[in-house]
Chains A and B, each alone.
Chain A
Amino acid sequence: MSNLTDLTLAEARDALKARKISAVELADAHIQAMEAARALNAYVLETPDKARDMARASDERLAKGQGGALEGIPLGIKDMFATEGVRTTACSKILDNFTPAYESTVTSQLWRDGAVMLGKLNNDEFAMGSSNETSAFGPVANPWKARGSDAVLVPGGSSGGSSAAVAARLCLGATGTDTGGSIRQPAAFTGIVGIKPTYGRCSRWGTVAFASSLDQAGPFARTVRDSAILLRSMAGHDAKDSTSVDMAVPDYEAAVGRSVKGLRIGVPKEYRVEGMPAEIEALWHQGAEWLKAAGAEIVEISLPHTKYALPAYYIVAPAEASSNLARYDGVRYGERVSGRDVIEMYENTRAAGFGAEVKRRIMIGTYVLSAGYYDAYYVRAQKVRTLIKRDFDEAFAAGVDAVLTPTTPSPAFAAGSKGSADPVEMYLNDIFTVTVNMAGLPGISVPAGFSADGLPLGLQLIGRPFDEETLFATGQVIEDSANALAKPQEWWR
């Protein structure tokens, strides 16, 4: 094998099973790549010793003809997942050196199936951001650069460490969390695949909570097939999360390559937003043509409340965040800054421990939940959410199997270019992804092409609740037709 880090996850899995490569050499190749790519700042904690130990154990199982679905596969883990004995911070100063005494359900299922942990990946602080610039560990660089430019671009967010690491071949796959687009938008910005499954498909137990009614875990990988393999291990019912759904997990990989003949793909006219670059519009049209050529039927649909999703999200998500983040008070874990009394201790701790974006969102959430404003803001936003979900329900009831949209309104932008004066400028990045979280639906972003200056662009497919299989089938058609899986130039070495 020439370069072990260039294998897809499926290829590596098959080579490991056939004993053509060992888990230890695969782990070593990725550890080397990870250590040579510190300029990207994708990993906030490298765990090479743990990776080698886990890989050795995988090799022992493989030698005996045993091993799980991910035996020996090296993965990166977003720092939002609690990992037993391994520092977990949500990339916030307030968690300091927090070392969990427990493992999140999603990661425990990856280890159960034999995966190998390379380390913890960078993200926006508490997953609040669309550019990975709010992390207490500093920003992540996108492995991609525009043709003829040396400017550092953002890898998207909040799972920017995950997207950069997978795109740069620093792991074969990674975990992410998606509250408003935090898996799909970074996947689009880095030319890889990311799927947010249906709300309730993956357990939230042991993942740091941001907005509990919106948060869902999902995988990043370089192909649709690889993401299907990962999701099967991550998904499943968990008695420790009362919102996780007790439904059997299908063999998602079996849906990859399934025919899309006769499927009805909805193209919502409301996603044709003002100021959208012509190349995004053209790519979207091209995506519909690809699916049509594969036998699907393209229908124009209307999702009339689309434009209200983002403002409603910026009430619901901060409200839930203000409640979830109340637990960071300097008493049981994390950083503490003393004060004259207990209240001042809380206030000083939270002022020093939270970054600017997190404070803004906690304060907005506190305001919209405060006496006298609750009905005007929070209840109204939850009513709008009902309308957004109803739009999708009606489209699906009318026979639409999946909805095709662009993932983002632009390719990756330059670091430091957005949101410094007006936070809303950054929020607009999630305009196409946030509706999916508001309605609890599954959504996948698949690499579909490149901008005029050579930056990756993604298309999003949105499915019926718990029909991730149709997303893998349609996503594979986009992947095959676009032929847009590419490797960025290794400028960081």
Chain B
Amino acid sequence: MSVDAATVRRVARLARIAVKDDEVAHLQGELNAILGFVEQLGALDVADVPPMTSVTPMKTPLRADVVTSGGEPEKVLANAPVREGDFFVVPKVVE
């Protein structure tokens, strides 16, 4: 399988990465090189093979459903690019 320019733009949109018009052809070539490389997996018959879900045979542990931290707005907001009071500021989302 290989991707065309429209697919590159669609994937970039899904990945939330702005791509300029003059970058599309280059990206398309690189993505197709990688997709071409992984194509060899098609040579294996994996119909009866279960997909791996964990390399170590372990059960997911459950923790007690209790509050373990919180009440530290200064620590949480310390790295915010834009803040107002105890809130992160983002562009208007709801019209």
Contact = CB atoms under 8 A, between A and B. Distances in A.
Contact of A338 (B79, B80, B91): B91
Interface string B34-56: 11011111101010011111111
B5 interface: no
Interface string A76-114: 000000000000000000001111010000000000000
Contacts of B41: 308, 311-312, 315, 380-381, 384
Contacts of B91: 338-342, 345
Interface range for A = 35 or more
Given A331-B88, A381-B41, A363 B18 contact: no
A314 B37 contact: yes
A314 B46 contact: no
Interface string B69-90: 0001001101111100000101
A387 B33 contact: no
Nearest to B36: A424
Main secondary structure of the interface of A (DSSP, over half): helix
Interface string B10-51: 011111111100000001001101110111111010100111
A465 interface: yes
Given A362-B15, A366-B15, A383 B75 contact: no
A245 B79 contact: no
Contacts, number: 165
Contact of B31 (A97, A360, A370): A360
A415 interface: no
B12 A363 contact: yes
A364 B18 contact: no
Contact of A333 (B7, B79, B92): B79
A314 B41 CA distance: 11
A366 B14 contact: yes
Given A360-B27, A364-B31, A389-B52, A330 B81 contact: yes
Given A315-B38, A332-B79, A465-B56, A382 B51 contact: yes
A97 B81 CA distance: 10
A186 interface: no
Interface string A204-239: 000000000100000000000000000000000001
A340 B93 CA distance: 11
Contacts of B17: 347, 350-351, 354, 359, 362-363
Nearest to B37: A424
B44 A384 contact: yes
Contacts of A145: none
Nearest to A424: B37
B35 to A, nearest CB: 8
B67 to A, nearest CB: 15
A314 B11 contact: no
Contacts of A360: 27, 30-31, 34
Contacts of B75: 101
Contacts of A338: 91
B58 interface: yes
A447 interface: no
Q: Which of B31, B37, B55, B76 has the most CB of A within 10 A?
A: B55
Contacts of A329: 16
A300 to B, nearest CB: 23
A178 B90 CA distance: 35
A10 to B, nearest CB: 31
B81 A363 contact: no
A389 B82 contact: no
Contacts of B81: 96, 330-331, 333-336
A367 B50 contact: no
Interface of A: 96-99, 101, 198-200, 213, 239, 242-243, 245, 305, 307-308, 311-312, 314-315, 322, 326, 329-336, 338-348, 350-351, 354, 359-360, 362-364, 366-367, 370, 373, 376-377, 379-387, 389, 422-424, 427, 439-440, 465
Give the top 5 A-B pairs by smallest Cβ distance, nearest first: A440-B55, A382-B51, A333-B79, A351-B18, A336-B81
Given A101-B78, A305-B44, A370-B11, 10 more contacts: A99-B78, A311-B39, A332-B79, A335-B81, A343-B16, A350-B15, A359-B27, A387-B46, A424-B33, A440-B55
24 contacts: A96-B81, A198-B56, A239-B63, A243-B54, A243-B56, A245-B56, A245-B58, A305-B44, A311-B37, A312-B38, A332-B88, A333-B79, A345-B90, A350-B16, A362-B15, A363-B12, A366-B14, A370-B11, A380-B46, A381-B38, A382-B52, A383-B49, A387-B44, A440-B56
